[in-house]
A and B are shown apart, each in its own frame.
Chain A
Amino acid sequence: MEAFFTIANTDLLVAMVRLSTPITLAAIGAVICERSGIVNIAMEGIMIVGAFFAAVGALYTGNPWIGLLMGIVAGGIFSLIHAVATVSFHLNHVVSGAVLNILAMGVTRYFMVLFFGHPGTTDPIPNNLGQLRWAIPGLSKIPVIGRMFFDQTPIVYFSFILVIFFAWFMKKTKVGLHIRAAGEHPLALETIGVSVKKMRYLGVFISGLTSGMGGAYLAIENSASFTEGMTNGRGFIALAANISGGWNPIGAFIASLFFGFADALQVRFQVGKVFDIPEEIFIIFPYVATIIAVAGLVRRSRPPKEVGVDFMIEQEGD
């Protein structure tokens, strides 16, 4: 039991925030996307594409900021395939998402070999964002909280800003209201003259941008290289965070912190050999946490009514 207290310290909480960041970013995207009415299980794939292109950008230009931008843009562009398939061609959202996840794995492996001559892992990225630790003067001195939230790397801060921005955006702006309406009752929106199609494209695109950023975080900030499959299901966990968080950016952030905590704990149990059982057992931690969270919380929150439902205007008859 003594060993347990060696890991339950501020470092664990700092790691929680760090590990939750990619989930938070994708989860905000999931909130916007599902609120607009589109289920996006392709976020896992979008993240991996974002991670890959961020690594490519950072390696080729030597500038991690260009890498970040490339990761975000690549995620956005890749997500548009999902938008075209589901909104314009009325394809089932889950089918399209599943296909894109497989496509993402194939595409990154193909480009991996094309750009680097081998599959697997890229060379280390010499200039990465993990090297930039931005301590906020004053605030970072607060015990525990200071190190958790005010002594972090750039994208971690961006994720905080985005959570607050999108919480405001959804509640207080016209476009935010329209996106919420598109997922709740699309025909109501269309009949007062706002295009549901545009709102849904926008919802998917935003989720592409934030997931791309989440992927970039993994490759150029949390670690300093790209490895195939390095997202490890975080895109799916983000969906669960969106659901547990009640389709709301702040809730999704809190749920992401929870999943980040499970992840941090897992790493420490594995490394610290706290209990005398095979460490591989702990790898399932975040996933078990996901199942429990979704099963326990899902019934209390209500999804947008028409999420996952196709919208088509001109129907036959009366």
Chain B
Amino acid sequence: MPQFIHRILLCALVAPGLWAQQTEVVLSATSSAKLVLAMTSPKTSGLDGAAVAAEFTAVLKRDLDESGVIAMLQERLPADGAPTKAWKEAGAQWLLHTRFTKAAKGDLEMEASALDTAAEKGVFNRTYIDKRSGPLRYFAHYLADDLVGRLTGEKGVASSRIVFVRQVSNGVKELFQVDRDGAGAMQLTRHGSLSLSPAVSADGRLAYVTYKGGPPEIWGQRKKDGPHERLYPTSGAGGMLSSPTWSPDGKRLAFVQGDRRGNSDIMVLDLAASRAKRLTDGNGINTEPSWNPNGNQLAFTSDREGGPQVFLMQDDGSNLRRLTSEGLYNASPAWSPNGAMVAYVSRFEGKFDLFIYKLGEGKAYQITTGVSTSESPAWSPDERHLVFTSNRFGSSQLFTTDLSGRQIVRLSELGGCQSPRWIRGR
């Protein structure tokens, strides 16, 4: 299966025209083949060149490594002034030049250009200006994302963020976010209570459940960068509430409401009309809704046939069908951003592993294996990775994996983490 996933990735690399020759090289290489990029020393004016070289280059290298599609050439580098041919002979397919300028107003400017060493033609040229004179890390992230975008047609996710829940003290959990590389951890809520089940809309609006008033309520942002306010129920108590999930257009919120008879149902709240509609039929547990990218279907977990299994339905509750067939406990469905896959967890011998169900094939593939548990998968916006939680180092921490399950990376050393969601940063 990992082989298969790599084939998919490699196919994504096949870009027409300009890189026809290069594509052949990639395809003829082993499954670990990536575009090889070399970088000349950054030119600087008004900044400490050595510091820039150290910080910027290290972050860019890591970003590109994690992209899975570009590798940075590290050894046998020609001198900076060497002709393009020398770089090509050293193995570089693209040669990157960067120039940093500190402008008079304090703005930092980075000019980046890349050259195809075979065709000796420019393939990339862009200037970045950071008005906040922000850290060099972000320039590296933006550049990595654009280089990946230039190569694959879809922007990378180095500048993306992970929003998650973290326990801050006994009985108190708050929302946090961290950059995709594990830096820049930041607390997003301070309710001093249980805050759970974060969701982030495409335009960056949060929704989550908080127990700050006693019974759970759904809180979130009606407007981008707006204040956190109660979204549901509009008055009174709403029973058990969990799992708010924004529709892809950000206008509706799927969530779960439990009644006093022990049932929990998938609901959809139309935010403009402030009207909630029940999609499932009050038959046992229905939870963990996940929209497809068109916003016309939902995957969810239900125990209607015994133990928890993953089901699919239309956004009006019709056309209900069971997705998972093997295993006694399948849950946490996450529909992939392009719609072809559903990630989920399956319980086996007391721990969970990540699986991916390919809708086109009607088959499930196991991603993680091991003695520790892997839970709460969420897709990267480019669909190349999953973020999940695992207790493999003791406390529940955030990890990412590629779709083969071979490249598992601990994203952050923060403990007590749960329910990660992966969103674009810009």
Q: Do A and B bind each other?
A: no
